Amino acid sequence: MNIRKFTPAVDKSILVLLAGIMWCGVSVMLVRYAVTWLSPLRTGQKVLYYTIGYLIAVPIHLFGFSRIAEKNLNRLMPVNVKRCVFAFMSWKSYIIVLIMVSMGISLRHSSLPKQYLSIVYNSIGLALFLSGLKYLKFFFKLLVAERS
């Protein structure tokens, strides 16, 4: 019995789209937590926490997540056959995700004040969103190239 016939295989354009949706979706979830935690604060305090978070997000995006996205795209681009739907990330990335999710759950349930935690969540959320847009932009380039 050939188990490969049960593998949910898709084209690389779908893998790129899935990566973009996943990264942007997780980013929205993280920022939503931060917004909820900051909602009871006064406007001036909110602006301060948002500003700090967004300023930290830029280097996280440029020197972290953007590079990871670029590596994933470079890994996926030479592929000309259908691959498993879960191949939009490397197996090492799944381990990193597991660690990050565990850390996020631990932080959320810790005694850290939520307004300080909102800085971390906004930073990572915005950085993920910006990097997720890289996947979506590339997906649309692939669509245009396929139609030409």
User: Does residue 1 lie in a domain region?
Assistant: no
pTM, 2 dp: 0.89
Tell me the per-residue pLDDT of 70-127, one tens digit each, with 9 for 90 and over: 999 999 888 888 888 888 888 888 898 899 999 999 999 999 999 999 999 999 999 9
Closest CA to 13 of 62, 60, 83: 83
User: Is the pLDDT reported for residue 38 higher than 90?
Assistant: yes
Confidence of residue 34 (pLDDT cuts 50, 70, 90): very high
Q: Looking at the 3D structure of the chain, how many domains does it have? A: 1
Q: What are phi and psi of 39, to 5 degrees?
A: -60, -35
User: Does residue 148 lie in a domain region?
Assistant: no
Q: Which long-range contacts (CB under 8 A, 24 or more apart) does 139-144 make?
A: 139/13, 139/16, 139/17, 139/20, 142/12, 142/13, 142/16, 143/13
Task: State the average pLDDT over residues 128-132.
Answer: 96
User: Does residue 4 lie in a domain region?
Assistant: no
User: Does residue 5 lie in a domain region?
Assistant: no
Higher-confidence position of 2 and 81: 81
> Percentage of the chain with pLDDT > 70?
97
User: Does residue 94 lie in a domain region?
Assistant: yes
Sign of CA dihedral 119, 122, 125, 130: negative
Check: CB of residue 37 under 8 Å from CB of residue 114. yes
User: Is the pLDDT reported for residue 28 higher than 80?
Assistant: yes
User: Does residue 74 lie in a domain region?
Assistant: yes
User: Does residue 21 lie in a domain region?
Assistant: yes
Predicted pLDDT at 111:
95
Q: Domain of 112? A: 11-143
